[in-house]
Amino acid sequence: MEIKREYHGIPLRVITDYLIELGGTRIGEDLVRGKGWSATLSRGEPFVLGALHLDTIHVHFEGDASVLNRLLASFDLRMIRAGG
């Protein structure tokens, strides 16, 4: 199963840290791999809202459907942040 997501205003380092907290191991600059899943991260064009420029991070999750569903349930809770 593959799931692609896009996040704005959250630094790449923070997203990587969340994935590591959920059992992943960082493999190079753009890959985090856990048991039964992997996440490839890449920077996109900044999201511009007036004078505000926010980081855009693309995350491509791959793995078994049941594993990804559990991972994303926990990951989504970490991605809820004050202000957006």
| Domains along the chain with CATH numbers | 2-79 (3.30.1370.80)
Please write the tens of the pLDDT for every residue from 20-53: 999 999 999 899 999 999 999 999 999 898 998 8
Distance of CA 79 to the CA centre of its chain: 8
Give, to the nearest 10 degrees, the angle between helix 12-21 and helix 65-79.
130
Q: What share of the chain has pLDDT > 70, as a percent?
A: 95
Q: Are 8 and 54 in contact (CB under 8 A)?
A: yes
pTM (two decimals): 0.90
Q: Round the average pLDDT of the chain to a whole number and report it.
A: 93
